[in-house]
């Protein structure tokens, strides 16, 4: 059977370099291009790449994806910084290339995907819910893509269940003290040397709290999700947002 021809964009970065090793080690894949900043994207078409794994920076991802979609290269995207406006632009490119698939995953680790699922399930049962994400200090964006997505899923579940706004009697606060407001859910970002990627969802009600915590301890935790995405995205045209769509979560 022929191997899947995979390119990695952002190949020298923290997660990109791990992805290069993971693709090289996968029996069913061939690494055909490993691109860093300034490298010509045409190297992917010249090498016949079928799937590009995009792990760069919020400032770079749109140009890279426009190239991929225009050239019919499926994409697995871990880069963060997604907004409704950016998603709309991506969808318009995909409309013009209907057989191309793009998977955007705010987090490729199975534990983080489960954290989001559990948080969504729990959200309607508690009066209060806040998200704390903790990352290494080299991270460009805050809140993290995972925390933003988690808060959006929590907010949607609470809206569907008809939950009232959260209680909060704060009348005076230093700017930022109550975190960022993501659809009504406070999200707090910690940047600390020594950490990689961690998240706590704190839920509280009368007389009890529930904490859902996930810790990424090494970039290897993202690799099974990236490889799964690369295998599935060629059969999944259009935009898929979230690795959970490729997992049988029941
Ligand atoms: N979804 C997920 O599970 C995960 C997502 N991420 C996300 O992935 C992204 C990268 O994270 P991380 O590896 O820590 O960051 P790094 O800064 O370590 O790596 C990014 C790499 O991409 C390079 N780069 C930037 N622009 C381009 C471009 N146009 N073409 C090719 N290469 C480019 C950078 O080069 P240079 O150094 O010259 O700028 C750098 O080598 C972030 O958005 C992060 O949030 C990270 C981990 C998991
Ligand atoms: O920058 C990182 O490191 C990570 N970025 C992603 C995010 O913003 O959620 C995924 C993970 O948290 C690691």
From first to last of its 250 residues, the chain has per-residue pLDDT tens of: 899 999 999 999 999 999 999 999 999 999 999 999 999 999 999 999 999 999 999 999 999 999 999 999 999 999 999 999 999 999 999 999 999 999 999 999 999 999 999 999 999 999 999 999 999 999 999 999 999 999 999 999 999 999 999 999 999 999 999 999 999 999 999 999 999 999 999 999 999 999 999 999 999 999 999 999 999 999 999 999 999 999 988 7
Taking CA atoms only, the protein residue closest to ligand 2 atom 4 is: 197
Residue 246 CB less than 6 A away from ligand 1: no
Residue span(s) of the chain under CATH 3.40.50.720 come to 2-103+218-244
Separation CA 186–CA 204 (nearest Å):
13
Candidates 3.40.50.720, 1.10.10.350, 3.40.50.800, 3.30.230.70; CATH matching 2-103+218-244: 3.40.50.720
What pLDDT, on a 0 to 100 scale, did the predictor assign at position 248?
85
- Domain 109-216 CATH superfamily: Dihydrodipicolinate Reductase; domain 2 (3.30.360.10)
Among candidate residues 153, 154, 10, the one with its CA nearest the CA of residue 78:
10
CB 143 within 8 A of CB 133: yes
Sequence-distant (6+) residues with CB within 8 A of 107 are: 113, 116, 145, 146, 149, 197, 222, 225, 243
What pLDDT, on a 0 to 100 scale, did the predictor assign at position 22?
98
Helix, strand, or coil here: 200? strand
- 135 flagged as catalytic: yes
Residue span(s) of the chain under CATH 3.30.360.10 come to 109-216
Measuring CA to CA, how many Å separate 3 from each of 31, 51, 238?
10, 11, 23
If you search the block for the tokens 């994409």, which residue do you land on? 75
What pLDDT, on a 0 to 100 scale, did the predictor assign at position 1?
81
Helix, strand, or coil here: 39? coil
pTM across the whole model: 0.97
Taking CA atoms only, the protein residue closest to ligand 1 atom 29 is: 60
């Amino acid at each position: 059977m022929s191997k899947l021809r995979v390119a990695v964009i952002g190949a020298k970065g923290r997660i990109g370099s791990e992805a290069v090793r993971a693709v090289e080690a996968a029996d069913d894949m061939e690494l055909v291009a490993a691109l860093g900043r300034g490298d010509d994207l045409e190297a992917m078409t010249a090498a016949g790449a079928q799937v590009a794994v995009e792990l760069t920076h919020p400032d770079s991802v749109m140009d890279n994806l426009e190239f991929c979609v225009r050239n019919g290269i499926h994409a697995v995207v871990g880069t963060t910084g997604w907004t409704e406006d950016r998603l709309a632009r991506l969808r318009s490119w995909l409309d013009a290339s209907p057989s191309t698939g793009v998977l955007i995953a705010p987090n490729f680790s199975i534990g983080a995907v489960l954290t989001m699922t559990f948080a969504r399930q729990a959200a309607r049962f508690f009066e209060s819910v806040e998200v704390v994400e903790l990352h290494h200090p080299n991270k460009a964006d805050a809140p993290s893509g995972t925390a933003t997505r988690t808060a959006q899923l929590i907010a949607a579940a609470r809206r569907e269940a008809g939950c009232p706004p959260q209680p909060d009697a704060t009348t005076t606060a230093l700017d930022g003290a109550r975190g960022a407001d993501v659809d009504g859910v406070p999200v707090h970002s910690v940047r600390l040397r020594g950490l990689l990627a961690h998240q706590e969802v704190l839920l509280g009600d009368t007389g009890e709290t529930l904490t859902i915590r996930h810790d990424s301890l090494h970039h290897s935790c993202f690799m099974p999700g990236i490889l799964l995405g690369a295998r599935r995205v060629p059969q999944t045209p259009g935009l898929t947002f979230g690795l959970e769509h490729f997992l049988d979560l029941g």
